[in-house]
Homo-oligomer: A and B are copies of this chain.
């Protein structure tokens, strides 16, 4: 597999009490490394793809541990820079059943937030790259992160690289004086594959489509009209019953055709974080190796599978996910 997928974004440390405890009642916590774009690289690397992640991490033993984690997964980290700001992190209290999970962030003055455009040699980094994946988190963190990303997108776009985006508009970011919608529309304009649904389109275009099938189709059409670079819209529909029970379904609008998958239900959620990134990684894997319908099925199964894996990154293999695509729901031990 000679494809080379590049992701760009913040690497975050997650700090979390185990066994559904609150922080107040804990003395020990588990930690994991994640970050929405790195999660995509991690999953694709586990699928056997060549991946590289570009970021800036803290110049201390925390940043070193983050890099070591990425290397353990086979992600190429040779373009990652360091500065004297701390690594971004977040605290997670894992809910259960009727109690929702809660997150407290510590990222806004971290190392990635202080990345500078000239730190990345985009030309060299994109040399053997076929896919470039970015999310709307990055431009929301800081102006210099936005500018660094934009530079990369412009290079990639000019080279005809496939650009996938998870727009992920978050209202609690975007504190540097620019309007999130304007910037997202600008950056999506360099992208070809939109991984998002009605909610995301409504947030970005400030429209009001319904979330049903027709609403999705109309929203997709409108998005493609407003931002003509987009060729495919892939949506992960999450049905959140409670913190322990979730269902996911994939749907897509491509070449004036509507695709969808079966719904997969997860009644014993181990970890919600990174399930959207698992979808994105599954989708990219599917698009590289098969057709759109396969990609959608594989993405939805990858997303479902991630609910059963602790941590931010999806550690499931292609074989693991194919079994779920093929209807093996885990009832037998694999010896």
Contact = CB atoms under 8 A, between A and B. Distances in A.
A27 B27 contact: yes
A25 interface: yes
A330 B23 contact: no
A242 B272 contact: no
B172 A335 contact: yes
Interface string A38-67: 000000000000000000001011101100
20 contacts: A19-B19, A20-B310, A24-B61, A24-B68, A25-B27, A26-B27, A27-B30, A29-B30, A61-B91, A69-B72, A96-B308, A97-B308, A98-B329, A99-B309, A100-B330, A101-B334, A106-B110, A240-B331, A241-B329, A242-B331
A241 B25 CA distance: 28
Interface in A1-54: 15, 18-31
Nearest to A59: B104
Contacts of A272: 333
A316 interface: yes
Interface in A301-330: 304-305, 307-311, 315-316, 320, 323-324, 328-330
Given A19-B310, A243-B330, A270-B20, A320 B99 contact: yes
A95 B330 contact: yes
Contact of A98 (B15, B74, B304): B304
A21 B264 contact: no
A101 to B, nearest CB: 5
A93 interface: yes
A181 to B, nearest CB: 19
A304 B97 CA distance: 10
A23 B99 contact: no
Q: Which of A305, A307, A330 lies at the interface centre, i.e. has the most chain B CB atoms within 10 A of its CB?
A: A330
A62 B309 CA distance: 17
B102 A86 contact: no
A258 interface: no
Contacts of A241: 329, 331
A15 B104 CA distance: 16
A26 B15 CA distance: 12
A202 interface: no
Contacts of A267: 97, 244-245, 267
Nearest to A100: B330
B68 A73 contact: yes
